[in-house]
Amino acid sequence: MSLRALLLDVDGTLADTESHGHRPAYNQAFRSLGLRFRWNSRLYRKLLALPGGRERLTYYLRHYQPELGAQADAARHDEAAWVDRVHQLKSRYFRAFVRKGKVPLRPGVARLIAEAKSAGVKVALVSNASHDSLNAVLNHAMPGLAEQVDLIVSGADVAAKKPSPDPYLHAMNQLDLKPWQCVALEDSAMGLQAATSAGICTIITRNENTLDDDFSKARLVLDGLGEPEAPVSVIRGTLEGGWLTLADVEAMLAPPVRSRAA
């Protein structure tokens, strides 16, 4: 098998963490701090263009200038510290939501990972999220599958988060693999840019937050991974069956690009 590693994004790809976990956790954090504003789905989709939670909070403060009430003085005195405090609170709520089973895996994820491991293909999670958030998903949304993950790359492991290729370059370096030996699974234009900039063939499984993203550089665009009893819709590209299999993933691989000198 020419495929050596399956590199999976987490938020929105493995699970609908944004809709069922992160956004509700932000709003719970705002509520607990006595803040009156909430992030609705439309606003949150815009904020997802930013690479991480602290970046989204900072952008929201500066560009939307929400009423902060009793929190205003603290935010003005040290914006970074206040943002960090809110983000830490949000992260605690997110982990609680995951522990309570409110953030299940998307259909087909467990099946595809199991197929990869049975075939000797390595599985890596490549995400902008923190290690704490990733561990929560692994331990609670993926019971029984956590031990099948060979590598975790978080936003804290690299100098620049997605859309920079750094997370994927780091993953390949750790696995000692080349781009033509890997396929990435992503759900957003940001993730697609990161993977393709690293030279990796990418399959998109879009969700409600990424319906309008530009996926023209993806090899295949689906609305999920699918299961035999729950087939997927193909948005772009070709899929023989009604669900994505490991054989389908390997078929996406392009041959290695060789220099003329070789």
β-sheet bridge partners, residue 122: 5
Choose the catalytic residue: 9, 166, 213, 248: 9
Would you say the C-alpha torsion 83, 160, 24, 131 has a positive or negative sign? negative
- Packing angle, helices 53-64 and 79-99, rounded to 10: 130
**Are the beta carbons of 201 and 254 closer than 8 angstroms?**
yes
Of 99, 197, 115, the closest CA to residue 148 belongs to: 115
Active site annotation includes 16: no
3-state secondary structure 90-152: HHHHHHHHHHCCCCCECCCHHHHHHHHHHCCCEEEEECCCCHHHHHHHHHHHCCCCHHHCCEE
Tokens of 40: 């609705």
9 labelled catalytic: yes
**185 membership: H or E segment, kind and range:** strand 182-186
Contacts of 82 (CB under 8 A, 6+ apart): 71, 74, 75
Catalytic residue among 11, 166, 213, 248: 11
Q: Which residues are catalytic?
A: 9, 11
